[in-house]
Amino acid sequence: MKSLLFKHRSIRKFKSTPIPEEVLADILAAAVRASTCGNMQLYSLIVTRDAALREQLSPCHFNQPMVREAPCVVTICADIHRFTMWCEQREADPAYDNFAWFLNAATDALLAAQNLAIEAEMHGLGLCYLGTTIYTAGEICRVLDLPKGVVPLTTIVLGYPDESPELTDRLPLDAVVHYEKYADYTAAEIDELWAEREESELTKQLLKENGLPNLAQIFTQRRYVRKDNLAISASYLELLKEKGFFNQ
């Protein structure tokens, strides 16, 4: 029998039922059991249940209704601030205010996030990751009072599901797994790996709705546009500098 991991779907509609305290405590406790660099736990999990605060976070996530509707919004942050304070209080010279430690902290944070997500699903909860977090990270810092040394990476909205969507398709496993070394793709292989998705009814419907000749152009012209990608890159790098991850 396949494990629970094979049943994950993003949930975007939630019941208003709150998450019991003991369930939330268990989920958070599972998060911190994930592997962490040198056992430094370079992350913070900001658990926002207050409706007024979720309302303030909502525009940061392009007003997707789930931020208001899910009973719990968890903002996953890289955090070198706490460990740095500890070091400074012990006359130790921390030196985590640089890009390597942004990477270490982001790794810690995202592994903990996925533990949180899986434990939540074990408790019958549903969730959705919000990629919008990096688009508006500076504003999220202001809403959540994130100090220097702390930046948001992603957000999980959490609650009891009020929908039961189909499993999303994936590329064939061969698309993402390489044995021994990276085997670069031929043009024909790329065509083959995407063939099933491109021929699907869903794709046909999307092409019709968008008036575009293929699925790739829906990504590049509608979903993730060059201008936005460059603006997000610039603003997130600026934030990393402001928050002290580039003090080299």
| Residue numbers 49-88 binding a copy of itself by CB under 8 A | 49-50, 53, 77, 79, 82, 85-87
Q: Which of residues 216-245 bind a copy of itself (CB under 8 A)?
A: 216-217, 219-221, 223-226, 229-230, 232-234, 236-237
Distance CA 12, CA 116 (A): 17
Cβ at position 82, least distance to a copy of itself in Å: 6
Binding mask 143-172 for a copy of itself (x = CB under 8 A): xxxxx--x--xx-------------xxxx-
Nearest-5° angle of CA 47, CA 3, CA 117? 10
Distance CA 77, CA 31 (A): 13
Q: Which residue, 129 or 160, has its beta carbon nearer to a copy of itself? A: 129
Cβ at position 94, least distance to a copy of itself in Å: 6
Q: Could you tell me the CA-to-CA distances from 104 to 33, 124, 242 in Å, in that order?
A: 16, 31, 18
Fill in the amino acid letter for 33: R
Q: Which residue, 184 or 201, has its beta carbon nearer to a copy of itself? A: 184
Q: Which residue, 125 or 146, has its beta carbon nearer to a copy of itself? A: 146
Distance CA 120, CA 125 (A): 5
Q: Which residue, 17 or 35, has its beta carbon nearer to a copy of itself? A: 35
39: buried, middle or exposed (CB in 10 Å: 19+, 13-18, 0-12)? exposed
Token pair in block for residue 149: 């040394």
Does 214 engage in binding with a copy of itself (CB under 8 A)? yes
**Does residue 161 sit in helix, strand or coil?**
strand
Does 179 engage in binding with a copy of itself (CB under 8 A)? yes
Does 177 engage in binding with a copy of itself (CB under 8 A)? yes
Place of tokens 């043009």: 187
Does 8 engage in binding with a copy of itself (CB under 8 A)? yes
Q: Which of residues 89-128 bind a copy of itself (CB under 8 A)?
A: 89-96, 98-101, 103-104, 106-107, 110-111, 113-115, 117-119, 122, 128
Place of tokens 């019709």: 208
Q: Which residue, 58 or 154, has its beta carbon nearer to a copy of itself? A: 154
Handedness of CA 64, 70, 71, 73 (dihedral sign): negative
Q: Which residue, 15 or 232, has its beta carbon nearer to a copy of itself? A: 232
